[in-house]
Amino acid sequence: MSRLLRVTDIKVHFPVGKTGILGRPANYLKAVDGVSFDIQRGETLGLVGESGSGKTTLGRAILRALEPTSGEIVYEQDGNSIDIMGLNRNGLRKIWRNMQMIFQDPYASLNPRMTVQDIISEPLLANKLAKGKDLNDQVVDMAQRCGLNTGHLSRFPHAFSGGQRQRIAIARALILHPEFIVCDEAVSALDVSIQAQILNLLKDLQVELNLTYLFIAHDLAAVAYACDRVAVMYLGQIVEIASTEKLYYSPRHPYTEALMSAIPEANPEQVMQPVFLTGERPSPTNPPAGCRFHTRCKYATDECRTQVPALREITEGHFVACLHSEGLSLKGALEHGKG
Amino acid sequence: MTSPVLAIPKLKKSNRRPEMATQWQLMWWKFKKHHMALVGMIMLSLLVFSAVFAEILSPEIPTERNNKYLASGPMGIHFFDSEWNFHLRPFVYSRSTKRDPVTLRKIAVVDETKLWPIEFFVTGSPYKFWGLVETDIHFFGAKGGFVHLFGTDSLGRDVFSRSLYATRISLSVGLVGVTFAFILGAIIGGIAGYFGGIIDNLIMRLIEFIRSIPTLPLWLALSAALPREWSSLQVYLAITVILAMIGWTHLARTVRSKLLALREEDFTVAARLSGCTDMRIILRHLLPAFMSYMIVDVTIAFPEILLAETSLSFLGLGLREPAESWGVLLFAAQNVRSISHMPWLLIPGLFIIVAVLAFNFVGDGMRDAADPYSK
């Protein structure tokens, strides 16, 4: 597998509060604060973390749908490395043919004033890639692949259910035949049964069209089902990346352990004993010094309060940002029940 | 035991296809539920109709003076004469002129012995319809005499005819003013909303400044600056522009706030990622989304401009004779003497009230219908 995307030390800081009328921002909300990772061609990288950990911001920043404060994003296309941060408006429009996004809320991401046909054909029209019969054929083809009834293309989004709307959004994202898709909580707004359908659709399309996904979610079960590798975010930083199996069954970061302990088991008799985190999540405006997780970590030592742990590879392909990960024996998913 | 019969509600037959309906269809369905708005719509249509066909509908041309019926009251249309005989064709009683023995003024008195039947599509004074087609057909008139539904003013001009002509001018002043305001507001508000930052800040402060100026003195100052020797057409155009200069601020604010909100919507981000240029995003994705709100604002701005024109003309600083507008007509009813002698000169005021109310009702209904996707 070859690398498709490399993200290095990306930061997204939002100004908050103001001093004086035209003064500088009083502080910055560090939504994403120094994140680095690679995505391989054809894989699905999961990105999990609690609400407010910066998952969505990171996903948008990678596409530059939201301007990152600093960092480097390099995209590999036909043997050329493209520096996404250095692109101007036109360069971005071109690269967006290869990188698309599926949004969380299919009610907000489809323009209610346009028919499904118009919505799906918009990327082709905007890039002047097709017109007339060719356009129509491409739209019908993509709608079919995404499981839409092609007889309903002249309807408006308000006539569709959430799952169907998400299929429309997927068709729109794929109509330009991109290589890389950011799925921003693409299934979390849907019913569980519909979630499964959409996840399967995404998997089928991945094989069919040779896609690479960044799969942002907070549903750990969906992530386990969909992803090859998973990254865990906490307070704007990645604390652990590993293959799905390693991350779920032998986590090396205390925060991952706590997350995994929250996965419910499909056995009603099983008594759950999740690891409870104490205290509140610190504000991303004033993150704690040292390891950001030390305020809620039961293994924290004095070292953790001062020393910032770097993301380091402890076994092959398993990166952890914890000073003590070698010394801890942490439980994985489904190991938290009694007995 | 008999099982209870369940009443199955009959489904209303309807050929509506909500899933295929465009935004405007959905809006119309919602608008129709608002009865007052429908009434307002009908009243407005009537006003517009009479404005368009003012020359045909009015029995006289507005500058025509009737020396036999100076400063006299409305003439009633009757179906029964003084002996209670029914006439299928409505009529007005004839009038004869006498001298008041005290003031020695000429006065018109009702002469019940002679009837002037009302006829339709009669020939009368020649006029040019919309200044183009020359004709002398009037929708109605009294055979053998004259008919003044709303009476006449002190010069003997027909108030009814003048009101119809004034409807044309007043509505068109509103229309042109609102169009100017709409264009100005859309462009300036669009710039503020799309670019944001310092530009937005400057434009918003400017709007606040303009809105803080007391309107009446400002209009007075602006219209006092118009050269006196201008023709009534030039004054008319200048007045509409002056009204638009103040009217755009509200629209600009609406446009800006809608743009600011829509800019952050997911579907706008999706459009950007789809490769749309800024222009395409604004025209194809954002504009249709706030068009309905702008139309609501326009219907609400319309009566404001209408009233502004009326106030200006009433104060003698807006349109002037021989141009007719509702304000100009009311100008004649300014002093107590003319109101006490000729209260019918206030009738054009009713037109203003009806128009403003109608616009407000329609605006109300439009506001409810503007977002058909909200439940």
The answer to whether position B6 is within a domain reads no
The answer to whether position B127 is within a domain reads yes
Beta strands in chain B (DSSP E): 78-80, 86-99, 106-129, 133-142
Q: Is B280 on the interface with A (CB under 8 A)?
A: yes
Put simply, the answer to whether B18 touches A105 (Cβ < 8 Å) is no
Domain match, B330 and B181 both: yes
The answer to whether position B33 is within a domain reads no
Question: What residues of chain B, 13 to 72, have a C-beta less than 8 Å from chain A?
Answer: 18-23
Provide the token pair at A122. 């918009």
Provide the token pair at B183. 């264009």
User: Over 60: is that where the pLDDT of B157 sits?
Assistant: yes
Q: What is the pTM of this model?
A: 0.75
Q: Is A158 on the interface with B (CB under 8 A)?
A: yes
Domain match, B187 and B237 both: yes
Domain match, B118 and B188 both: no
Arithmetic mean of pLDDT, A234-255: 92
Q: Is A60 on the interface with B (CB under 8 A)?
A: yes
Arithmetic mean of pLDDT, A244-255: 91
Predicted local distance difference test score (pLDDT) of residue B70: 79
Q: d(Cα B195, Cα A164) in Å, to the nearest integer?
A: 35
User: Which residue of B19, B22, B285 is in closest CB contact with A111?
Assistant: B285
Domain match, B263 and B149 both: no
Q: Which of B132, B157, B182 is the last residue of a domain?
A: B157
Task: Indicate which of B17, B25, B205, B274 best probes the interface with A, i.e. most A CBs within 10 Å of its own CB.
Answer: B274
Per mean pLDDT, which of A31-45, B68-82, B216-230, B238-252 is the most reliable? A31-45
User: Which residue of A97, A104, A152 is in closest CB contact with B275?
Assistant: A97
The 3-state DSSP class for residue B36 equals helix
Predicted local distance difference test score (pLDDT) of residue B7: 54
pLDDT in tens, A116-165: 999 999 999 999 998 889 999 999 999 999 999 988 898 888 889 999 99
Arithmetic mean of pLDDT, A19-32: 76
ipTM of the complex: 0.88
The answer to whether position B52 is within a domain reads no
Put simply, the answer to whether B18 touches A169 (Cβ < 8 Å) is no
Put simply, the answer to whether A172 touches B270 (Cβ < 8 Å) is yes
Domain match, B291 and B204 both: yes
Q: Are B145 and B122 in contact (CB under 8 A)?
A: no
Domain match, B227 and B270 both: yes
Q: Is A177 on the interface with B (CB under 8 A)?
A: no
Handedness of CA A195, A196, A198, A199 (dihedral sign): positive
Per-residue pLDDT band at B8 (split at 50, 70, 90): low
Predicted local distance difference test score (pLDDT) of residue B325: 85
Residue ranges making up the domain that contains B90: 66-157
Between these two residues, A322 and B124, which has the higher pLDDT value?
Answer: A322
Per mean pLDDT, which of A20-29, A271-280, B336-345 is the most reliable? B336-345
Domain match, B93 and B211 both: no
Q: d(Cα B333, Cα B312) in Å, to the nearest integer?
A: 15
Question: What residues of chain A, 116 to 155, have a C-beta less than 8 Å from chain B?
Answer: 122-123, 126-127, 152, 154-155
Domain match, B166 and B153 both: no
Q: Which amino acid is at B17?
A: R
The 3-state DSSP class for residue A157 equals helix
Per-residue pLDDT band at A6 (split at 50, 70, 90): very high
Q: Is A188 on the interface with B (CB under 8 A)?
A: no
Q: d(Cα A212, Cα A173) in Å, to the nearest integer?
A: 13
**DSSP of A139-156:** HHHHHHHTT--GGGTTS-
Q: Is B316 left (phi over 0), alpha (psi -120 to 50) or beta?
A: left
User: Which residue of A103, A112, A123 is in closest CB contact with B275?
Assistant: A123
Provide the token pair at A61. 């920043």
Per-residue pLDDT band at B1 (split at 50, 70, 90): very low
User: Over 70: is that where the pLDDT of B260 sits?
Assistant: yes
For residue B27, the chain A residue with the least C-alpha distance is A113
The answer to whether position B274 is within a domain reads yes
Number of domains in chain B: 2
Q: A63: which residues sit within 8 A by CB, 6+ positions away?
A: A96, A99, A101, A182, B273
Put simply, the answer to whether A122 touches B22 (Cβ < 8 Å) is no
The answer to whether position B176 is within a domain reads yes
Of the candidates B162, B130, B144, the residue with the CA atom closest to the CA atom of residue B63: B162
Q: Are A48 and A217 in contact (CB under 8 A)?
A: yes
Chain B residues closer than 8 Å to A101 by CB: 269-270, 273
Q: d(Cα A257, Cα A44) in Å, to the nearest integer?
A: 22
Per-residue pLDDT band at B292 (split at 50, 70, 90): confident
Put simply, the answer to whether B20 touches A127 (Cβ < 8 Å) is no
Domain match, B91 and B175 both: no
User: Which residue of A63, A109, A126 is in closest CB contact with B266?
Assistant: A109
Of the candidates B369, B364, B272, B342, the residue with the CA atom closest to the CA atom of residue B72: B342
Using N-to-C axis directions, what is the helix angle for A192-209 and A162-174, rounded to 10°?
A: 20
The answer to whether position B100 is within a domain reads yes
Q: A324: which residues sit within 8 A by CB, 6+ positions away?
A: A299, A301, A304
Chain B residues closer than 8 Å to A122 by CB: 271, 274, 276, 284
The answer to whether position B201 is within a domain reads yes
Predicted local distance difference test score (pLDDT) of residue A120: 95
DSSP3 helix / strand / coil % (chain B, rounded to 5): 55, 15, 30
Q: Is B84 on the interface with A (CB under 8 A)?
A: no
Domain match, B299 and B232 both: yes
Q: Which of B138, B157, B176 is the last residue of a domain?
A: B157
A–B: how many Cβ contacts below 8 A? 75
The 3-state DSSP class for residue B52 equals helix
Predicted local distance difference test score (pLDDT) of residue A22: 62
* DSSP 8-class letter at B152: B
Q: A298: which residues sit within 8 A by CB, 6+ positions away?
A: A254, A275, A278
Q: Which of B102, B122, B157 is the last residue of a domain?
A: B157
Question: Locate tokens 């404001």: which residue?
Answer: B304
Predicted local distance difference test score (pLDDT) of residue A23: 64
Put simply, the answer to whether B273 touches A155 (Cβ < 8 Å) is no
* DSSP 8-class letter at A85: G
Q: Is B257 on the interface with A (CB under 8 A)?
A: no
Between these two residues, A66 and B218, which has the higher pLDDT value?
Answer: A66
* DSSP 8-class letter at A324: T
Chain A residues closer than 8 Å to B373 by CB: 112, 158
* DSSP 8-class letter at A181: E
Domain match, B331 and B239 both: yes
User: Which residue of B266, B274, B288 is in closest CB contact with A123?
Assistant: B274
Q: Are A295 and A279 in contact (CB under 8 A)?
A: yes
**CATH code of the domain containing B205:** 1.10.3720.10
Distances (CA, A) of B91 to B88, B120, B146, B158, B163: 9, 12, 11, 18, 22
Domain match, B348 and B253 both: yes
